[in-house]
Chain A
Amino acid sequence: MAEREADLTKTYDAVIVGSGAAGGMAAHVLTAHGLQVLLLEAGKKLPIEQELRSMEWPYDNAHRGFLPPQSHSLSFNEYTIRNPPYGPGFEKSEHLHSYVGSSDYVKNIVVNERENPFTGTNYAWVRARCLGGKTNIWGRLALRLSDYDFKAKSRDGYGDDWPINYNDIAPYYDKVDLYLGITGVRENLPYLPDSIFQRPTKLNCAEVTLKQGIQKMGRVLTQYRAGVTSEGLKHNKYRSRCYGRGACERKGGCDIHAAFDSPTGLIYPAMDTGNLTLRTNAVVREITVDPQTGKASGVHFIDSQTMKDYSVRAKVVVLAASTLESARLLLLSKSRLYPNGLANSSGHVGHNFCEHVMGPGVAGRAKDLVGKPPTLDDGRPGGFYLTRFRNLAEKHPKFIRGYGFEGGSGSTLFPRGTDVHGFGASFKEEVRRNQGAFVGMGAFGEVLSRYENYVDLDPAVKDKWGVPSLRFHYKFQDNEHRMAEDMKETAQEMFEAAGFEIVHVSSRVLTEGWSIHELGTARMGTEPKTSVLNQFEQSHDVKNLFVVDGSAFVSASCQNPTWTIMALCWRSCDYLADEFQKGNL
């Protein structure tokens, strides 16, 4: 792809804010339709292969793969006892990262919390300001939603239905599968539709034991559905097929790009069309509005390095800055015409904020594997996914909606089971004998969308670039806590059914935000009084403004959102291009 200097004097057909899963997809679809597109990214373009170094051995790394001494990543305890914006108590470290930034391989991908403060209730907010954003380090679990999610209100009466159903989005899930690649096994589950899968990974022995153990309970364990191309993609020269090298478990990303990331999967191919201009280090601070027409006219941005202010004009503005950053931008874009922020006549921008609750889970040992010769277990993008089973056919008496488990088993580069009591010869032997026998899983559950869970702008605190910070008003409530209690119990009951020796059962709910699945701050809907966007992620108020990231979600479901963000975005951008060509925007 050829990079060129961004021409800021011309009027682009569309400007996209953010280069992650949503921004990359918008760039792919709009450039394919022939639109002239400017893509703005707040962070740098990193030499990503040099950051990720997926096959580096710990002993070849200056700090054995851990963070260098001047950096610190927040722990669960610190999130619990320190309040944002995380200034006091961390004076000793120059760089302060979210909990994800705990290795040498991701330290430059996640933001420095000091430069990007936020206030209010505790939130483990994980942000990646660099080309590709969080897709550089995502967990890769690529799941579809179903009408159990899109029509959840019709099923249990809570919240709102989505303005689309599964049939509307299914063809776009297919397009995403084929364009980006996904591994998995067909299961024919109505609540978790199959994708068009490439070569699947294989379960190891303890995982097969668990799968068989829970079958009699009517529960389903399937291979991790990874957004990874296991066979390669003929249409993409930037990505290799997966070679099972196994650094996936350190969640440091994939330096041959077999795992999807937005730059190699979407942005570089879009640049090859000749229709895409990329501008990095562009911190967008406001969407500008034409006072005559009331339409969006472009954006103001600050160069993150020089601190200089720029403006650029576009006929359509597409926000893809992430659920929380897109909401922040809408709230920042106040004007005489839009005193509550842009696209906010409903007052719902920043509200209905939801995500996934995490923490409860179980760790155990497959006794028949203890002391067996070492096996190769982590040469694959993921272990297993144990699908939702609550509130499908039967109604649970204590909570609504559902949860699934992500898990895995076997040997890892850094052994599991070193946190046991004791030391010496027996400790060493125990670690060695147990290393291949460990099995663990943790739950991801739907957090209900609630108007009273929201973000707004802090009246005083600003980030390094002088842009007002977000303030959180967000807490898990009873439904989440009752669900978490059930997660713990069912996790234990399933490990018992598999005959595993249970080592640890966790009932601890992790800090809000931990799942990195924040959603819903500019939700879609048919009713402009209670929603921000229509079914094509187009603002009810401003027709040439689209918000194509997780903020459009009406509810969180319990399935990981990235694949749905991209399928929805593709559908919306097809509509956008069509309306653009008809002159309707």
Chain B
Amino acid sequence: MSTKDPIDLRQDRRQWLKTSATVLGASLLPLPEVSAEVSQAETAPVPQAAKTAQAKSTARFFTPAQHALVEELSETIIPADSHSGGAKAAKVADYIDQVLRESFDDSQRALWREGLRLIDIMSQHYHGRGFVNATPEEKIALLTVLSDHEQMSDLPEVRFFIDLKRMTVRGYYTSKVGIHDDLQYKGNRVLQEYVGCDDQEPSSS
């Protein structure tokens, strides 16, 4: 994909949705239909050992492959840098899995299944490989397409991106990595004296 020319998302998606049905089937992640509210354990071809493990731990929302994809997506939203760990280190994908697993909102679950499917179709279209295997630059380029089209909220992939970012932000900045390593939050401690502009070093008890 060219970084210079603006992408026409509506036009492009007609093309990639068409080709995805024929050419790309084999390379895509195995994902269920959007509307089908069936448990992942039933539809996804997971190895037998993994299946048993899932059954024990009240079945995760994401398949292992989806989980890996969400890890890459969330890490692209909030990456590790020289200052602190990113979404992977903060286990944001686990947090999102829990929210979706417990959610009473079927439409949100359907949006995530559809969104993950469309992300890989888009990645195939623009970069010739699934999102997980794309280069860091390709990952950023792909999410930039969605971020730059945030106003097209009738498109499921755009709505998915908005929710992906919202949940990643929530998961990251409520984690130990986000609060302590990244923001170095100084509050939530017992103080003997209030802190003001003149005295930025609090006196702890």
Contacts and interface: CB of A to CB of B under 8 A. Distances in A.
Interface stretch (A152-160, A428-436, A545-553, A556-564): A428-436
Contact of B183 (A202, A207, A230, A411): A411
Contacts of B105: 92
A414 B186 contact: no
B106 to A, nearest CB: 8
Nearest to B140: A424
B45 to A, nearest CB: 29
B186 A423 contact: no
Contacts of B165: 423
Interface stretch (A35-43, A108-116, A174-182, A240-248): A240-248
Interface stretch (A59-67, A141-149, A299-307, A347-355): A59-67
B186 A64 contact: no
B189 A411 contact: no
B22 interface: no
Nearest to A428: B78
Interface string A243-256: 11111000000000
Interface string A563-578: 0000000000000000
Contact of B79 (A58, A377, A424): A424
A77 to B, nearest CB: 14
Given A69-B103, A379-B189, A428-B182, A59 B174 contact: yes
A211 to B, nearest CB: 10
A376 B200 contact: yes
Given A204-B196, A376-B186, A379-B189, A421 B78 contact: no
Contact of B188 (A203, A246, A375): A246
Contacts of B83: 429, 432
Interface residues of B, number: 47
Contacts of B189: 245-246, 379
Contacts of A58: 174-175, 179
Contact of A243 (B76, B176, B185, B190): B190
| Chain B contact residues: helix, strand, loop or mixed | loop
B86 interface: yes
B183 A247 contact: no
Contact of A201 (B150, B176, B190, B194): B194
A574 to B, nearest CB: 35
B179 A202 contact: no
Contacts of A203: 196-197
Contact of A414 (B76, B173, B194): B173
Interface in A371-392: 373-380
| B105, B140, B186: residue with the most chain A Cβ atoms closer than 10 Å | B186
Contact of B182 (A373, A422, A432): A432
A432 B77 CA distance: 14
B124 to A, nearest CB: 21
Contacts of B194: 199-202, 230, 244, 379-380
Contacts of B193: 244
Contacts of B50: none
Nearest to B191: A244
A418 interface: yes
Interface in A23-73: 55, 57-59, 64-66, 68-70
26 contacts: A58-B174, A59-B175, A59-B179, A65-B174, A69-B104, A92-B105, A202-B194, A202-B198, A203-B196, A204-B197, A207-B197, A208-B197, A243-B190, A243-B192, A246-B189, A374-B184, A375-B200, A376-B202, A377-B187, A378-B187, A380-B194, A413-B179, A423-B77, A428-B79, A431-B183, A432-B183
Given A55-B188, A374-B183, A379-B191, 13 more contacts: A64-B174, A68-B102, A93-B104, A202-B194, A202-B196, A204-B197, A374-B185, A376-B202, A379-B194, A421-B147, A424-B79, A424-B143, A432-B183
Interface of A: 55, 57-59, 64-66, 68-70, 92-94, 199-205, 207-208, 230, 243-247, 373-380, 411, 413-415, 418, 421-425, 427-429, 431-432, 435
